Amino acid sequence: MAGGRTGQPGTFMRLLGYVARQPVLLGAAVLFLILGTVVLAFQPLLFGRAVDEFASGDAGNATLYGVSIVAVAVLGGLLTYVANRQLASLAQHGMELMREDLFAAMQTLSLGFYDAEAPGDLNARVTSDIETVNQFFTAAVPRIITTAMTVVTMLIIMFSLDFTMSVVVLLIVPMSLGLIVVLGRRIQADAAAYQQLIGEVNGYAEEVVQGQRTVRTYATEAETLSRLIELSEEAREADRSAQFRSYLMQPASRLVNNLDIALVGLIGGTRALSGAISLGDVVSFVGYSQQFGGQAMQLSQVVTQTLSAVAGARRVFSIIDTEPDLASKDGATPLPSAEGKVDFDHVDFSYIESKQILFDNDFHVEPGQFIGLVGPTGAGKSTIINLLTRFYDIQSGTISLDDHDITDVELDDLRHRCGVVLQVPYLFSESVMYNLKYGRDGATDEECIEAAKSANAHGFISRLPNGYDTVLAEGAVSLSQGQRQLLTIARAIVSEPDVLVLDEATSSVDTRTERRIQAAIDRLMEGRTSFVIAHRLATVRHADQIIALDRGRIQEIGSHDELMAARGFYRDLYMEQFTNGDHDDQPV
């Protein structure tokens, strides 16, 4: 995918950049965290000194030490809390911004991008990658900062006490790193293998649950079950070793930690004997060593989280960075309204380079004309519509609306001028009214109800549980395919287009219903340029021009009567409706 060339460190910094959008707040949070950590780091020091003095038989300062430790605890706790709150809020805000960027980027991408991605994959990526990054922001980022601050403060205090002992305490770092390298890598590899396998399990489950009616039809319940078990067993094996190893991480770190404590005790004891440091300092160092172990353990968890967040973020950024390949030109012509004159001049088009779809398409439509597009499946009828609304750009030739090349027109304006009813009725899981208003910004309730009435949709909408306010969500209200189509037609009516496009819009509506909406469509088409794709040739027989297409080439253009008289391609197509396809040249 384009744009995903940033390296791991680059992605990481960019990710952190989302938290750093409010530098003052972030600075304040970090400052509080530093202060809190510094204050808390005094605790082992004070404690060590106290034990030291008590051991020498002097309890004179016990109250001072005790009160200081409590004061340090309260102050340190407060500072840390304020900082944690601030960081949580910055992290959540960063997530909000990132989701916004992603969504905004996805909206500018052309259909070409969506064609190349399986919708299921894109959904999963958007959801799970964002969630991984969220985990990173909420759990890992505050931890990284806290840990880093704690380590730095402890280092300063430790080194001010004794250099050699500090080095001994720090031995835990290479040991823990070794552990992360040896065990952590295995865990990551296992986890990746498991993710892959469980992805297959879930993918298969999704398919067979969605296809359960087909499973029922062919009575393949047992076969699908055994396939699922097989996949699930493979995933189980990978999961088992991943889980086993990840649960080993904690006792292994503890072993490393205890090894370090023993070393500190041994070397510290020797140094205390030689008088290089006090016994109390050794006690303090034992405490630091324990704390360092804890920090190391936390860091090892953070490392895994960070790595997967960086991987997830890289995929998110690759979407954000994809350059929209279709946009209005600078200084594009605004087109607040259109007469509806449409011209295709020698248009060639292919979705992918190797496979040309349209060849030299050339036709001219006067304002208000009714155009029928006919031809066998795959002739390129829908493609013409996709090009007119500029869902894709053509390779050669020009398409113009009112004598403006559509690539020179504001894209927003162009699409506002065209009202489209697509082959597959798509509705949003919002209220019926929302879906109707979708047609045009600023449409009123009354206009929408009026549109529903003229699309013959008002009747069934009124019978829905909450009428126009009924929310169309899966499992709640089920509309038939025909009803959904009526709604999309009403939506197109609301949009008050200058050019109307109906792409096989009536294919799931029965004849009677079709006739009723045909009346509404006739009204809608009045005075508007209209393109209609229909399989039932009767629907377009009154068209001003019928464009008959076959394999991407225009075969004939003319009215129904002209084309019937011409006894060519269109007439053959028309006659096939009645003649059982007798003159069929394809071997069966």
Partner 1 sequence: MSGIRAFFRVLSYAPASERRNFMLAQLGVIVMVGIQLMIPQLVQRIIDEGILAENTDRVVEVGFQMILWSVLNLIVAGGVAYLTALTATNLAHSLRRLLYEKVTTFSHGDLDRLSTAELLVRLTSDVNIMKTAFMQTMFMLFQAPWLLVGAVVLVWIQSPSLVWIMAAVMVVTVIVVLAIAPGLGPLYAKAQAALDRLNTVFYENIAGVRVVKAFNRTELEAERFAERNQEVYQRQLKPALRSALFQPVLFGLLYCAVGVAVLTSGTEVATGVVNGDPDALQPGELTTFFNYLLTAMIPIMIVAFVLPELGKFEASLSRIVEVMRTEPDIIPPTDPVDPGELTGRIEFRSVSMSYLDGDRRPLQTPVLRDVSFEAEPGETVAILGQTGSGKTTLISLVPRFYDVTDGQVLVDGNDVRTLDLTALRSQISVAEQQAMVFRGTFYSNIAYGRSYGSDRASEPRCDYHQAEHAARVADAHGFISAQLDGYDGAVTESGNNLSGGQRQRLSLARAIAAKPRILILDDTTSAVDVATEARIQQALDVEMAGRTVLIVAQRITTAMRADKIVLLDEGTVSDVGSHAELMERSELYREIAESQLGSLEEIADLLEAP
Restricted to residues 34-63, the positions that interact with partner 1 (CB under 8 A) are 36, 40, 43, 47, 50-51, 53-59, 61-63
Binding of residue 236 to partner 1 (CB under 8 A): yes
Binding of residue 186 to partner 1 (CB under 8 A): no
Binding of residue 322 to partner 1 (CB under 8 A): no
Binding of residue 349 to partner 1 (CB under 8 A): no
Residue numbers 403-432 binding partner 1 by CB under 8 A: 411-412, 415-416, 418-420, 422-424, 426, 428-430
Minimum distance from residue 7 beta carbon to partner 1 (Å): 27
Binding of residue 445 to partner 1 (CB under 8 A): no
Q: Are strands 396-401 and 404-405 parallel, antiparallel or unpaired?
A: antiparallel
Binding of residue 155 to partner 1 (CB under 8 A): no
Binding of residue 512 to partner 1 (CB under 8 A): yes
Minimum distance from residue 271 beta carbon to partner 1 (Å): 10
Binding of residue 209 to partner 1 (CB under 8 A): yes
Widest pairwise Cα distance in the chain: 121
Distance between CA atoms of residues 472 and 465, nearest Å: 11
CA distance to 86, 194, 236, 346, per residue, from 224 (Å): 51, 21, 18, 51
Residue in 78, 155, 173, 320 binding partner 1, rule: CB under 8 A: 78
Task: Find where tokens 């096939």 sit.
Answer: 576
Contact 323, 1 (CB under 8 A): no
Distance between CA atoms of residues 245 and 241, nearest Å: 6
Please identify, among the stretches 69-77, 158-166, 173-181, 524-532, the one whose residues bind partner 1 according to the rule CB under 8 A.
69-77
Q: Which amino acid is at 267?
A: I
Contact 563, 548 (CB under 8 A): yes
User: Residue 185, Cα to own-chain centre: how many angstroms?
Assistant: 28
Binding of residue 577 to partner 1 (CB under 8 A): yes
Distance between CA atoms of residues 574 and 439, nearest Å: 34
Distance between CA atoms of residues 419 and 423, nearest Å: 13
> Mask of contacts with partner 1, 357-376, x by CB under 8 A?
------------------xx
Residue numbers 465-494 binding partner 1 by CB under 8 A: 474-475, 478, 480-483, 491
Minimum distance from residue 559 beta carbon to partner 1 (Å): 14
Minimum distance from residue 9 beta carbon to partner 1 (Å): 27
The three-class DSSP label of residue 426 is coil
Q: What are the structure tokens assigned to 371, written together? A: 């155009």
Please identify, among the stretches 303-311, 345-353, 509-517, 524-532, the one whose residues bind partner 1 according to the rule CB under 8 A.
509-517
Contact 58, 12 (CB under 8 A): no
Contact 140, 148 (CB under 8 A): no
Distance between CA atoms of residues 147 and 299, nearest Å: 7
Contact 291, 108 (CB under 8 A): no
The three-class DSSP label of residue 415 is helix
Minimum distance from residue 530 beta carbon to partner 1 (Å): 15
> In terms of CB distance, is 403 or 578 closer to partner 1?
578
Please identify, among the stretches 20-28, 83-91, 301-309, 394-402, the one whose residues bind partner 1 according to the rule CB under 8 A.
83-91
Binding of residue 334 to partner 1 (CB under 8 A): no
Binding of residue 462 to partner 1 (CB under 8 A): no
Binding of residue 101 to partner 1 (CB under 8 A): no
Residue numbers 252-291 binding partner 1 by CB under 8 A: 252, 254-255, 258-259, 261-263, 265-266, 268-270, 272-273, 279, 282-283, 286-287, 290
Residue in 233, 323, 445, 522 binding partner 1, rule: CB under 8 A: 233
Contacts of 74 (CB under 8 A, 6+ apart): none
Please identify, among the stretches 169-177, 241-249, 363-371, 397-405, the one whose residues bind partner 1 according to the rule CB under 8 A.
241-249
Minimum distance from residue 146 beta carbon to partner 1 (Å): 8
The C-alpha R_g of the chain, in whole angstroms, comes to: 35
> In terms of CB distance, is 261 or 371 closer to partner 1?
261
Distance between CA atoms of residues 142 and 14, nearest Å: 17
> In terms of CB distance, is 6 or 124 closer to partner 1?
124
Binding of residue 505 to partner 1 (CB under 8 A): no
Size of the site for partner 1 (CB under 8 A): 181
Minimum distance from residue 369 beta carbon to partner 1 (Å): 21
Minimum distance from residue 247 beta carbon to partner 1 (Å): 4
Count CB-CB contacts under 10 A for residue 80. Answer: 20
Distance between CA atoms of residues 497 and 518, nearest Å: 17
Contact 347, 393 (CB under 8 A): no
Binding of residue 95 to partner 1 (CB under 8 A): yes
Edge-to-edge, what's the strand order for the sheet holding 355-365?
A: 355-365, 342-352, 396-401, 404-405
Tell me 126's DSSP state: I
Binding of residue 176 to partner 1 (CB under 8 A): no
> In terms of CB distance, is 345 or 411 closer to partner 1?
411
Handedness of CA 311, 317, 323, 327 (dihedral sign): positive
* Nearest partner of 263 among 197, 334, 168, 188, judged by Cα: 168
Minimum distance from residue 8 beta carbon to partner 1 (Å): 26
Distance between CA atoms of residues 332 and 407, nearest Å: 8
Residue numbers 106-135 binding partner 1 by CB under 8 A: 106-107, 111, 114, 118-120, 122-123, 126-127, 134
> In terms of CB distance, is 16 or 345 closer to partner 1?
16
